[in-house]
Every structure is written in structure tokens, then in C-alpha cells.
Structure 1
């Protein structure tokens, strides 16, 4: 019989409560049995060796090999020089952060030649300002169906239960809100119908334009409302992603759509509430991701530095504990080369109501009745 959280449900899972917590497997095959210090200095993980950063000539060689690996092509020599300088400064930050031997580490990724302000402008797209002075849209009901939940499992991983599609890549477009929405809908649809289907972020980009703004940002609740009002969302195969906004396409004959019944908000600033919801289904979450540490996160349990405002959306797909660190695991939309094969673990149980990077401030999930499954285009 599996271990459960006591009925009183403490704000975070007690680490090392039993042998079960000591053997919790690491999400996304992260292999955290070794010390974090090992990962901080493993070239295969962080993308550089100590010798690479010892001399300017070695840094230049590292930049060249990194450029080839990521298929970087610079139009002019001047642009290449500028990008090298950005790369050098980013590498310096990564090296200095990893020398602290904290609970997480950074590494060279596809953003290594991207200045931080450029990164924030191009890849973060949660727009809480769209909701007006209230800071977030409100679900049509204030109900939280998991409020009375007790005896939650010590760990949850919706990927292992077949409710999570492979990691996707939003590209240089502030469409994280669409990916967060779609991942949560993919999850609840699989749980109700038994079928895991990759759904269309592009449809939300093109058609959900009343309050959301494509690459210009959006909010998950508005996207859920669109799916409900539109009586479903197409599959990615029928409406593929373009990494840019396009014209809204009408439903095609015989095209499959996935429906939801509605959506609900998780009570704000409540770790307990998020865990209750996450124990039952994947959840859309907004975080303050506008920091260089988040830009270059490679692995471990993240506990800061964070951004100054909610500006990015991910999907929470599990929680657990590893090496004394309690965490929530998130699916990101920056491809498998970022983070832990596209995933991100963030520390929980800090005692702060809003959580690390404000992860408990804005979270929501779709609802789906057993009678609402597949539909077909008109």
C-alpha cells in the first residue's frame, strides 16, 4: 500500500518521513544520486570544462563549438563579435553561480548568446496585466473541487501515468500561456478518455484573440474559456504550430477536437491547494521567471534567483523529494535542451505563502466530465 500524506496535510511533504521518501525517483531521468557539486563541474551536463574558462582563447573555442552544436549563423562579423561578448558574459554568470554549489546548477543552452533583456522580451509571455487591476482573470466559479482532498500520495508524476506529451518548443514567441493551457488539457483529456493526444497551441495563438495576444502574451484562464466557448480544440496534427501568429482557421470536416467542461482556479498563495490539485491532474502555473538563473537552468531543485513579476507559464506535472529537497516538477516549452530534458524542479515547503518565484499566485486547471471526450469538425 502506498504511503499517503496525513489527513491534516502539512504545507509541504515532510522530507525523510519514511523509506518511501528516501527512494523517490528523480523526475525526467535526472539521476540526482550524485552530489550537486559533481553536476556543477561535469562538462557533459553544464556544457563547459574548467579548462574551457581558464583562458580567453579557450572561451573563443568553446563559443565556436557551441555555435556549431546549436546551428548558429551570424549575418555579419560585427554581429558575431557582439554575440560572442554576450556569450562570454553569460558564461561568466553560469560559472560563478555553479561555484556556489547550491541545490541547482546552470549550463550552456540555446540561449547562451542571447542577452537577458532580449531573452525576457522574446521568450516570456505570461501577461497578467491583461486581467486589469485584479492581476488575474477569474474562473466562472469560485469552487475548488479538491478542497476536501486528504491522504495525498508522497509523490506524483503524471508522465509516468501517460498523461503528458513530449516537451515542445515555443520558439522565439511569447506563447508560453498557450503551451501551459494545452498541456493541462492534454492531461485531463487522457485521464478521462484514456487517449493522449497532442493538441494545438497554434489554434489558441490564431483564434483566441479577444483577450490573449499570440506571441504578445496571454493568460491560461482566457485560453480555457476559448476552448469551452469554441466547443473544443484541434489536434496539433490538424493545426500545427508555426512559432508565429497566423490567420484563424475554421473547423475542418472530419477534424478531431478535444473538449473540456470548464476550468477552475487554485486558491491563491496556497501550497497545500496546489498540491491537492496536482495530485489529481496537471495544473497550469504562472511564475516569475525573468532571471538569468532561470534562463540557464540546467538541473537540480531551483530556489532562486527569480524575476520581479509573473511573466512565464509552465505546467506542473508532479511533485516529490530528492536529497532532502522537496520540489514541484514543471513542464516547460523551450525544447528538450533546456533544463532537465525540458523540465524544471522548483523548491517547495519554504513557508512563504507565494512560494519560490511566486508559483502559488496564479494556477488553474481545466475540468472535463466523463461525457465530454472527442468531437468532430462541422
Structure 2
């Protein structure tokens, strides 16, 4: 008795002591559990535990306390839901009302409200589907939970689910990622409006390019040929940033569509493209096992009209793929006294990063060369004195 009432003990120990007393047939243990479950100075978990234990010794009173916990808004959501779960486990007739109350309670998190409605639906109560429909249409709810509620309706073949998903997919107030998620869910449930919504998102110029590509990719993954066509169109669109065009071509390549590598090859050789994006396209082409990737990198590294910093970048990328021509280009650039000192040092550093011994030798020579400028000499000396720092991949 003393342990169960000692305020200096942790709540869990006090509940354990009360349970032990009740198990001995002492009515004071039952009374203590009742008091602990109602005491808001106790942690929510221990209050729920006390109420659950109370159902063993005083079933009716324990269930009444569990009912009270489900509606106590000061209690953390997880324990209110936990109390409803206990009522369900006990097959208490008030359990359904508890779930309905939780689903309708705006003070509860959206996730718990949707879960409560879903549980009620699973118990065969028609209020569950009605509550899910209401939550799916509730503007103030996070889009992810609205989609979740609508999907639960779809699983039970309730047409309100499809309508809700269609509304979310078209909703201008919903962010692009969730519009795609809603449209994809609709399509996966076999509703043709889902595919149409994904196509509309992919061609929407007001939508972020990344979301447009994602919509087209999901459409393709669902087996709709319009998805691959849209990805090709996006990859070739000069209205998109170069990096996004490469992303679209990569998505097409990842799906095994032959137009993907062809588009990457086109982008890698497009003089209107920035060199960084061309290099990335060439690298992705090589990763796909297409020899045109190596050829494109070599063309970039060898092109005299391309600025030295970009040629160095392409040559190093070529070298990392095991092609010795990359190191050869870097050696030529680093050795050419007619080039800027800083670019020569950068070429020598790239050569050194490839593990080519000529890189270290050239850096040592450049560090002592007064003709390349003070800053370039400093960069060379720093690379020689701190080789590990400058050999980071």
C-alpha cells in the first residue's frame, strides 16, 4: 500500500504496486488503480495502463475509465487511441462511439483521426466511411492524410473515395507531389481519371519541372504509354532547364526505353547545352552501358572551343571511367605554358586525383614556376603539401 502511494516513486512502480495489491484480493489495490487512471499528474501511458489493469478487477469501472480517457483532450493522442483500442479488445459496446468521437475530434492529429475512422469502418459501422469521406474533403487537413482517407474508401469500393482523389489531383491548392500521389492512387485503383490527371500534371507548365517529370514517370510505370512519350517530350523541351531535361531522359533510360539513351546522347552533344549538363548526360549514358557516353566525354575534353575548366572536368570524368585519354588531355592542359596558371594547376590536381604520377610531378614544377602567378603557385604548393585534401573524390 505504501509503495503504491509513495509520490517519490516513478509512476510505473506505483501502478505495479497497486496491481500487486489488487491481485492479492485487497480492494485498496483496485481503488488505487481507479485513482491513478484518473490522476492527470500521472503520465498518459501509466494512466492507460492503470485503467487497463482495472478492467481485470472491476470490469465495469475499468471500461468507464477507458471511455473517459478517449475523450480527455489534455491526454496525448496516442493514449486516447490506446484507450479506444482497449475498449475494442474488450468488445465493449461503447468502442464504436469512442472511435467515432476520435475521428470527429479536431484536436486530434489528422493521422489519428483518419486511423480512427478507418478502424470504425473496419468494425462495420457505416459512420466510418462517412467520416473518412468528410476527412478526405476537409481542406484544413494535410493532403497526405486526405489522400489516405480517400484511399481507404477506395479499398471498400466506396465511390466517394475516387471522387475525393480526383478532386485532390486537380486541386490548385495542393502541392505538386501530393497531386501526383492522389492521381497515382486513383490510377492504381483502376479509375481512368487517374491517368488523365497524371498526363495533365506532366504537361502543366505552371507546375515545377521536377513534378512534371515525376508525373510522367509514374504514368509510364503504371503501363500507360503516354508516360514515356511525355518523358521524351520533356527531355527535348527547350522550355525546361538543362538539368531537368537530363532528368527526364534518365527516367526514360531507367525504364528501358531506347529513346532514353538516344536522348541522353543528343543532349551530351548539344552545343547549346551547358557543359556541366552535357558531362552529366554523358556519364549517365556510360552508366547505362552505352559507348556513346565515353565518346561524348572525350569530345568535350578535346574540344578547343570549350573553356579549360570545363575541359578539365570532362577529362577527369573520362579518366574516372578508366579511359586513358582523360589523363592525356589533363597532361596536355597542365603542361601548356600558354594557358592560365590557375587552369594548369587545376588540370595537374585532377591528374593527381586520378592517381597518375605525372600529376604530382607537374604540381611540384608549377609550385616553383614564377611565370604562372602568385595565386596559382600558392594553389600548387598547397596541393603538394596537403595531397590528401586535394585527392578527395
Same fold (TM over 0.5): no
User: Whose RCO is larger (CA < 8 A, sep 6+)?
Assistant: 1
Structure with greater strand percent: 1
Larger Rg: 2
| TM norm structure 2 | 0.21
| TM norm structure 1 | 0.22
Structure with greater helix percent: 2
